[in-house]
């Protein structure tokens, strides 16, 4: 969807649909007043009937207002003026996007004159409009057989209209929002692709194609032979059970001089998690096509970054493998040596995410990272703890944790911190090896993070468990959510100036 920005004024407002937002005090914007006047008070007359309550996200479509060139006027409720905070704004925008989906229009004009939610600027508003529309209009259609049956979305362009002094910020936000829409959709497409299509090799191909499309992105892909040479025994213990070989996919965005330390993001890319020999139950096993949502997130984030073009360096790594049971698969009790030299007793082959991640986290030491964030659908326990509202954050550095939480608050792609105190560490001590890959019944998300903490002592690091936030397993909106691309993008852009 294209977004453009222009001044809000009546003479040039010839449109198939104009959006006018109103609070429940029914006061009209400058443009709304002009339209009301021109139409002989038609607008205020309808509002006075009080059928339209202006609740947050409520909409009303008026056709052919008298004496104007506006085919449809879409009135959008914003609720009470003093309660118009970022969350209310997002709800209103979702209502607007859903109502727009029902209309057969190519272009939408949105009057934003004087409008902004509490504590946010116009740039945020414009960016959220792009993101919300993209979320609501997103459909995963690649797997539909009959291309003719695909629902055609008519809306192609949104024109944001504001007062002159708002235009610069609106333009900046529109650009960021469009970049985010592109990156988030890419993450959703990868997440939703089934595992017979989306294999580690498919992810590698997508990464190569990204590098072809963006000058500042380069890709390096390690195959199993190279990983063996590097001593990545933990990663390979997962991929060896599958006929689809694992890949360590490294994508680099170079926006600053090569001596500027990069921020590194690492994603869990289990393209299907059957559990391996510790096989999962059949019910709902299909959901494990989403076990590569961490990888999809870092891919989508890097694409967003490349679209925005900040002067910084970012490395994104997808640790891609399939977790399958086979005669070659790892078995409970097996002990392997990770790239770090530390040995791991695999007591449950279904705790595979930490095994592929730990070698990726050792590998990226070579980039001398400024900060490292890994993103993973790591534990079912995380869904029990936080549900689908917040991603979990674990960190060995308060500034990194706080910057991620702040980025989540800013974007409403929220996250919440959980502890990784040393006192949890004994839960993953092993009698035979340096550690074991499960920590017992208690605090499953924390012990998983504690496992990763043993591989990230050399740099400032945070781990995000996105098991509850990155996909929805049922309902109309079933599928990958594109979270936390917005949070991570905001985090990285906030680091451009080297602020932490
Ligand atoms: N990919 C799963 C975690 C998961 C479960 C993500 C449900 C999204 C939805 C992970 O590999 C896993 O199987 N974890 C186990 C760990 C256990 C064996 C210690 C779990 O959470 O049960
Ligand atoms: Mn698993
Ligand atoms: Zn998994």
Confidence tier at 374 by pLDDT (50, 70, 90)? very high
pLDDT at 345: 99
Q: CB-based burial of residue 104 (10 Å sphere; 0-12 exposed, 13-18 middle, 19+ buried)? A: exposed
**Residue 291: CB within 6 Å of ligand 1?**
yes
Burial-class residue 406 by CB neighbours within 10 Å (0-12, 13-18, 19+): middle
- Any catalytic annotation for residue 354? yes
Say yes or no to pLDDT of 148 above 70: no
pLDDT tens digit sequence for 61-82 = 999 998 888 999 999 999 999 9
Q: Which two three-digit tokens encode residue 130?
A: 């792009």
Mean pLDDT of 319-346: 99
Please give the distance, rounded to the nearest whole angstrom, from the Cα atom of residue 171 to the centre of ligand 2: 43
Closest Cα partner for 236 from 363, 339, 372? 339
Q: What is the DSSP letter of 281?
A: P
For the residues 10-22, what does the mean pLDDT come to?
86
Contacts of 50 (CB under 8 A, 6+ apart): none
Distance CA 31, CA 28 (A): 8
Report whether residue 438 contacts ligand 1, using a CB cutoff of 6 Å.
yes
For residue 486, say if its preceding peptide bond is cis, omega within 30 degrees of 0: no
User: In the structure, what pLDDT confidence band is assigned to residue 377 with cuts at 50, 70 and 90?
Assistant: very high
Cβ atoms of residues 261 and 284 within 8 Å: no
| Closest residue CA from atom 17 of ligand 1 | 351
Taking residues 85-99, what's their average pLDDT?
A: 98
For residue 5, the cross-strand partners are: 160
Return the structure tokens found at 436. 């074991």
196 C-beta neighbours (distance < 10 Å), count: 11
The chain-wide mean pLDDT, for the chain, equals 96
* Beta bridge partners of residue 263, listed in sequence order: 314, 371
Q: Lowest mean pLDDT: which of 7-16, 199-208, 341-350?
A: 7-16
pLDDT > 70? residue 156: yes
| pLDDT of the residue at 474 | 82
Residues in CB range of 380: below 8 A, 6 or more apart:
444, 467
Q: What is the mean pLDDT of residues 389-400?
A: 98
- Classified as helix, coil or strand, 494 is helix
Query: What does the pLDDT look like over 261-304, one tens digit per residue?
Result: 999 999 999 999 999 999 999 999 999 999 999 999 999 999 99
pLDDT at residue 67, as a whole number: 87
Three-state SS across 198-266?
A: CCHHHHHHHHHHHHHHCCCEEEEEECHHHHHHHCCHHHHHHHCCCCCCCEEEEEEEECCCCCCCCEEEE
Domains of the chain in sequence order: 2-165 (3.40.220.10), 183-494 (3.40.630.10)
Phi, psi at 177, each rounded to 5°: -60, -40
DSSP string, 355-415: HHHHHHHHHGGGG--SEEEEEE---HHHHHHHTTT-EEEEES-HHHHHHHHHHHHHHT--E
Answer yes or no: is the C-beta of 350 below 6 A from any ligand 1 atom: yes
Percentage above 70 pLDDT, the chain: 98
For 446-464, how does the pLDDT look when each residue is reduced to its tens digit (9 = 90+)? 999 999 999 999 999 999 9
Structural element, H or E, at residue 99: helix 86-101
Model-level pTM? 0.97
Of 374, 379, 474, best ligand 1 pocket probe by most atoms within 8 Å of the beta carbon? 379
Q: What's the CA-to-centroid distance between 279 and ligand 2, angstroms?
A: 9
- Per-residue pLDDT at 1: 86
Cβ neighbours for 432, distance < 8 A, ≥ 6 positions apart: 335, 345
What is the structure's pLDDT at 499?
Answer: 56
Residue nearest to atom 13 of ligand 1 (CA): 350
Distance CA(438)–CA(406), nearest Å, equals: 31
Q: Could you tell me which residue, 476 or 131, shows the higher pLDDT?
A: 131
Selected catalytic residue, list 188, 354, 460, 483: 354
Mutate which of 376, 380, 381, 469 for ligand 1 pocket (most atoms within 8 A of beta carbon): 380
pLDDT given at position 18: 96
Q: Read off the pLDDT band of 259 (50, 70, 90).
A: very high
The answer on pLDDT for 149 being more than 70 is no
Contact indicator for 468, 236 with CB cutoff of 8 Å: no
Residue 238 Cα to ligand 2 middle (Å): 10
* Residue nearest ligand 1's atom 5 by CA: 380
Q: Is the CB of 265 under 6 A from ligand 1?
A: no
């Amino acid at each position: 969807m294209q977004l453009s920005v222009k001044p809000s004024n009546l003479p040039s407002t010839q449109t198939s649909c104009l959006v006018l937002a109103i609070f429940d005090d029914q006061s009209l914007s400058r443009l709304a007043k002009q339209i009301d006047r021109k139409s002989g008070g038609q607008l205020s007359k309808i509002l006075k009937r009080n059928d339209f309550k202006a609740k947050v996200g409520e909409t009303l479509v008026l056709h052919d207002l008298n004496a104007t060139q506006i085919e449809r006027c879409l009135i959008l409720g914003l609720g009470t003026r003093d309660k118009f905070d970022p969350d209310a704004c997002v709800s209103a925008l979702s209502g607007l996007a859903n109502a727009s989906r029902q209309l057969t229009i190519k272009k939408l004009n949105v009057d934003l004159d004087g409008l902004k939610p509490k504590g946010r600027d116009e740039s945020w508003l414009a960016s959220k409009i792009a993101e919300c529309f993209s979320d609501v209009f997103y459909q995963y259609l690649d797997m539909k057989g009959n291309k003719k049956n695909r629902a055609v979305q008519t809306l192609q362009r949104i024109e944001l209209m504001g007062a002159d002094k708002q235009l610069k910020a609106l333009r900046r936000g529109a650009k960021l929002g469009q970049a985010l829409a592109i990156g988030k959709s890419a993450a959703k497409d990868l997440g939703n692709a089934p595992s017979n299509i989306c294999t580690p090799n498919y992810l590698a191909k997508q990464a190569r194609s990204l590098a072809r499309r963006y000058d500042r992105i380069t890709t390096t892909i390690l195959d199993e032979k190279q990983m063996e040479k590097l001593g990545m025994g933990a990663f390979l213990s997962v991929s060896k059970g599958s006929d689809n070989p694992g890949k360590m996919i490294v994508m680099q965005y170079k926006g600053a001089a090569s001596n500027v330390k990069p921020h590194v993001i690492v994603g869990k890319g289990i393209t299907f998690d059957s559990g391996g020999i510790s096989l999962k139950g059949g019910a709902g096993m299909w959901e494990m096509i989403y076990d590569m949502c961490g990888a999809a997130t870092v891919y989508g984030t890097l694409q967003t970054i490349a679209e925005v073009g900040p002067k910084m360096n970012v490395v994104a790594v997808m640790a891609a493998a399939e977790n399958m049971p086979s005669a070659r698969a790892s078995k409970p009790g097996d002990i392997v040596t990770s790239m770090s030299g530390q040995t791991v007793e695999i007591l449950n082959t279904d705790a595979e995410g930490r095994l592929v991640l730990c070698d990726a986290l050792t590998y990226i030491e070579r980039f001398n990272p400024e900060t490292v964030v890994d993103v993973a659908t790591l534990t079912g326990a995380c869904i029990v703890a936080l549900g689908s509202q917040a991603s979990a954050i674990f960190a060995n550095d308060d500034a990194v944790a706080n910057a991620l939480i702040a980025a989540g608050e800013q974007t409403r792609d929220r996250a919440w911190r959980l502890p990784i105190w040393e006192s949890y560490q004994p839960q993953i001590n092993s009698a035979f090896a340096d550690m074991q890959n499960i920590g017992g019944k208690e605090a499953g998300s924390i012990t998983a993070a504690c496992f990763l903490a043993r591989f990230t002592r050399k740099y400032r690091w945070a781990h995000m468990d996105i098991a509850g936030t990155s996909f929805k397993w049922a309902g109309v909106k079933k599928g990958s959510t594109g979270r936390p691309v917005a949070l991570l993008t905001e985090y990285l852009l906030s680091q451009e100036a080297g602020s932490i």
